[in-house]
Amino acid sequence: MAEPILTLRDVTIGYPGHPVLRNVTLDVFPGQSVAVLGPNGSGKTAFLKTVAGVLRPLAGEVRLRTASGDRGGGVGYVPQRATVSSLLPLTVYEVVEMGAYDGVKPWRRLGEEAKRRIAWALEEVGAKELACKAYTDLSGGQQQRVLIARALATNPAILVMDEPLASLDRDSVRSMVVLLARLRSEEGLTMLWADHFVPALQEVVREVMLIEDSRLIWSRIDVLVDRERRLLAPTEATQS
Amino acid sequence: MSELLEILHPSYVLRNALYGGILTGLVLPLIGVLMYARRMVFLGVALPQVSATGVAAAIFWHLAFHEGKGPHSDFLIALIGSTVLTTGVLLLLAALERQGRGLVEGRIGAVYVFAGAVTILLLASEHIPEVGVVQLLRGQIIAISDTDILLLLGFYSAVAAILWYCRRDLLLVCVDRDVALSMGKKVWAWDLILYALVGMTVSLGVLTAGPLLTFAFLLLPTMVGLRLARRFHAVPVVAALAGGLIALSGFLLSYSLDWPTGATDALLGCLVLGAVTLTQWVFHLARGHG
């Protein structure tokens, strides 16, 4: 059996003086795609930020095995869209280029390899034609693709995404799910993401981590979808 | 035209004031762009005031405890006081911001009021001879010497070089701190570099051009650059050019009309920003109807 790419052992997650998840122990294996589900304020973002290295764990150990095959990078972090300021005239290329800053000394120019990676990332998410456009002029779905491209440009071992489907219309959700499913199957990317939208995740994830009462509970996506259908059924019957 | 040739002539008596103004106009917008990207614009109002307090406090300390004697000039003492206080306040505000409690703007407003009050009280002290220090606080660009110009050139060149070499990481840390952390960037170190650059540049700007013009050069050319540039990497270049041109034109205007240079530059900066905004608005309307 392959070694886990991400390991958490007895980790307490949260902010100083305000822990939100305790004693988290889990392994994520290469190629696995896991969704973290929970209500607002349950600690999904704090969990992802801890895995991405944005937040330090309050206790315990987070270990990322970075030297896996040809993906030698670390975490490709996709934050919520609102984190990139709409007040700056950043082009799509400039946003994606930030992903290639990883490992480049400040005084060095971006090499050919980095430029190839940027071009590949733009191509992968279907944003090549948008490269010269202003990031703020894009639709929500396009902006999300650009942020994923930036994470891909880091050459990540694992893609960590914070609500990539939030505030997207139905068509954008559909095309985003197709994109992520393709990245998983063709590129073999390991993915960890937080979201609310259960049914749309079925094509990309099998396992789900539910956050309930400050604990993480593993489940399977089909079990959750069944449960949600049953919960919705009486409402639909009443409406009809 | 003859006035322009006159002020550009190497024998012009106020040439150092002109060179100092242009250098300040070229470099302060480079810092202003990063402050804007880091959402620290409001801090740009408070920092020059804090810097002025640093000047007053350093001169007060020098006169009260050393009777104004010593090998160092008032300018150097004022620069050290201003830089130490400005950088210290920046670091304190940054530490409080990281705790994520309270309103950032509220703290900056309180710092502004505190710094203004302390400056006035220090100036009212019997230890401080009013005229000389007020001159320092207004910016002593008119009295700037050949040596000061060389120092200014050296310092601003160093700032511009650091900003150029570190532009990628500074941009990443300013625009998306979380992503920078996820890439393993030493964000605290980049913050420290940014704050040190801001602190020193603002201090030198206040001593050279005064608090009003320092804030004007931090903000107005930056906003012109943000309006005109089509990509972010071009913003510092456009902003610096706008700042340099405003400094040159403002100096020429103040010389022709016998107006104070700082206020003329600041007003001209506002007019340029207004003209750029209006022109873009007219173009936008014309295209919309076309």
- pLDDT category at A237 given cuts 50, 70, 90 is very low
How much is the pLDDT for A2?
78
Q: Which two tokens stand for residue B60?
A: 């007060």
Residue-averaged pLDDT of chain A:
84
pLDDT, tens digit, for every residue of B40-49? Answer: 888 888 888 8
A168-204: burial string, b at 16+ Cβ within 10 Å, e else: beeebbebbbebbeebbeeeebbbbbbbeebebbeeb
Q: Are strands A6-15 and A59-64 parallel, antiparallel or unpaired?
A: antiparallel
Chain mean position to CA B69: 30
Q: Does A106 touch chain B (CB under 8 A)?
A: yes
Q: Which two tokens stand for residue B127?
A: 């230890």
- pLDDT category at B140 given cuts 50, 70, 90 is low
pLDDT, tens digit, for every residue of B217-250? Answer: 999 999 999 999 999 999 999 999 999 999 999 9
Contacts of A213 (CB under 8 A, 6+ apart): none
The distance of A65 to chain B (nearest Cα, Å) reads 15
Region of residue B258 (phi > 0: left; psi between -120 and 50: alpha; otherwise: beta): left
Nearest CA in chain A to B175: A84
Answer whether B232 sits within 8 Å of A88, measured CB to CB.
Answer: yes
Residue of B38, B165, B179, B187 for testing the chain A interface, max A β-carbons within 10 Å: B179
Q: Are strands A33-37 and A59-64 parallel, antiparallel or unpaired?
A: unpaired
Which residues of B have a CB under 8 Å from any CB of A? 36-37, 39, 100, 165-166, 168-169, 171-172, 175-176, 178-179, 181-185, 226, 229-233, 235
Rounded to an integer, the average pLDDT of B34-44 is 86
How much is the pLDDT for A96?
95
pLDDT, tens digit, for every residue of B55-97? Answer: 888 888 888 877 666 666 777 888 889 889 998 998 888 888 7
- pLDDT category at B206 given cuts 50, 70, 90 is confident
Nearest CA in chain A to B34: A88
How much is the pLDDT for B138?
65
3-state secondary structure of B41: coil
Q: Does A150 touch chain B (CB under 8 A)?
A: yes
Q: Does residue B192 carry a pLDDT above 80? A: yes
pLDDT, tens digit, for every residue of B93-115? Answer: 888 877 767 788 888 899 999 99
Q: Would you say the C-alpha torsion B3, B7, B9, B12 has a positive or negative sign?
A: positive
The three-point CA angle A224-A229-A235 to 5° equals 140
Answer whether B182 sits within 8 Å of A85, measured CB to CB.
Answer: no
* Mean pLDDT comparison of A27-41, A187-201, B22-36, B116-130, highest-scoring range: B22-36
The distance of B154 to chain A (nearest Cα, Å) reads 20
How much is the pLDDT for B38?
87
Which of B178, B184, B232 is opposite residue A94, by nearest beta carbon? Answer: B232
Q: Does A71 touch chain B (CB under 8 A)?
A: no
Q: Does residue B152 carry a pLDDT above 80? A: yes
Contacts of B226 in chain A (CB under 8 A): 87-89
Contacts of A150 in chain B (CB under 8 A): 179
How much is the pLDDT for B223?
96
How much is the pLDDT for A71?
41
Answer whether B168 sits within 8 Å of A77, measured CB to CB.
Answer: no
B220 or B188, which is more confident? B220
Q: Does A160 touch chain B (CB under 8 A)?
A: yes
Answer whether A88 sits within 8 Å of B37, measured CB to CB.
Answer: yes
How much is the pLDDT for B207?
82
How much is the pLDDT for B130?
59
Q: What is the percentage of chain B residues whose pLDDT exceeds 70?
A: 90
Contacts of A6 in chain B (CB under 8 A): none
Mapping DSSP onto H, E and C, the string for B200-263 reads HHHHHHHHHHHHHHHHHHHHHHHHHHHHHCCCHHHHHHHHHHHHHHHHHHHHHHHHHHCCCHHH
The distance of A116 to chain B (nearest Cα, Å) reads 18
The distance of B60 to chain A (nearest Cα, Å) reads 41
How much is the pLDDT for B18?
87
Contacts of A91 in chain B (CB under 8 A): 230-232
Rounded to an integer, the average pLDDT of A203-221 is 83
To which residue do tokens 């009809």 refer? Answer: A240
Which of A91, A94, A98 is opposite residue B179, by nearest beta carbon? Answer: A98
The distance of A89 to chain B (nearest Cα, Å) reads 5
Rounded to an integer, the average pLDDT of B132-144 is 65
Q: Does residue A67 carry a pLDDT above 60? A: no
Q: Does residue B141 carry a pLDDT above 70? A: no
Spatial separation of the C-alpha atoms in residues A111 and B1, rounded to whole Å: 48
Residue of A18, A64, A87, A88 for testing the chain B interface, max B β-carbons within 10 Å: A88
Q: Does residue B144 carry a pLDDT above 80? A: no
How much is the pLDDT for A131?
94
Q: Does residue A69 carry a pLDDT above 60? A: no
Q: Does residue A235 carry a pLDDT above 70? A: no
Answer whether A79 sits within 8 Å of B179, measured CB to CB.
Answer: yes
Which of B172, B178, B233 is opposite residue A83, by nearest beta carbon? Answer: B178
The distance of B265 to chain A (nearest Cα, Å) reads 25
The distance of A105 to chain B (nearest Cα, Å) reads 9
How much is the pLDDT for B4?
73
- pLDDT category at B142 given cuts 50, 70, 90 is low
Residue of B42, B165, B168 for testing the chain A interface, max A β-carbons within 10 Å: B168
Answer whether B178 sits within 8 Å of A106, measured CB to CB.
Answer: no
Spatial separation of the C-alpha atoms in residues B97 and B180, rounded to whole Å: 18
The ipTM estimated for the assembled molecules is 0.87
- Contact call for residues B76 and B83 (beta carbons, < 8 A): no
Task: Give the N- to C-terminal CA distance of chain B in Å, as an integer.
Answer: 39
Nearest CA in chain A to B181: A54
Q: What is the percentage of chain A residues whose pLDDT exceeds 90?
A: 40
Length of chain B as a residue count: 290
How much is the pLDDT for A238?
46
Residues A174, A177, A183, A189: what is their CA dihedral angle, to the nearest 10 degrees? Answer: 170
How much is the pLDDT for A153?
93
Answer whether A101 sits within 8 Å of B169, measured CB to CB.
Answer: yes
The distance of B148 to chain A (nearest Cα, Å) reads 29
